[in-house]
Structure formats: structure tokens, C-alpha cells
Amino acid sequence: MLNNIGLPGLLLIAVVVLVLFGRGKISSLMGEVGKGITAFKKGVKDSSQEIEDKSEVARDVTPETEKDKA
């Protein structure tokens, strides 16, 4: 069903949304979406950095007697 929507259909949907919500509401909504995407990217970056930091701290805790057997 969505495969049949072309450029005229998308333009019609955009005009209807603009009329219903107004330019200011759409602008503020897109600003909030942008802030959400930025926060998501920052969270992913921070968590990957945290994982890297923890992997550097990891150390071998095998007892000396076990190391000699291997």
C-alpha cells in the first residue's frame, strides 16, 4: 500500500500536516526530535567509552598455581 505513494501524495500529506499543526508546532517538534537524536548518540558514545574503560581495567585473576598447570 505504501509503495503507491509518490511525490504528489507526500506533498499532500505535508500540506495537511502543516495546516493541522501549524509551522511553529512542527518546528518545535523537529527541534525536540533533533535533541532526542543528539542525546541518543551521546548515550551510545558514553556507554561504548565506559565499556572500553572497563575492558582496560580487566586483569587476570587466575591463581598462580592454576597458571602453572596450563
* pLDDT tens track for 32-57: 999 999 999 999 998 888 877 776 66
CB 34 within 8 A of CB 43: no
CB 26 within 8 A of CB 18: yes
Grid cell at residue 36 = 532526542
**Residue 18 is assigned to a structural domain of this protein:** no
**Residue 52 is assigned to a structural domain of this protein:** yes
Between residues 59 and 1, the one the model is more confident about = 59
**Residue 51 is assigned to a structural domain of this protein:** yes
Range of the structural domain that residue 43 is part of: 23-56
Radius of gyration of the chain (CA): 26
For 6, 22, 30, 38, the CA distances from 57, given in Å and listed in that order, are 54, 53, 41, 29
**Residue 6 is assigned to a structural domain of this protein:** no
Q: How many domains does one find in the chain?
A: 1
Grid cell at residue 68 = 602453572
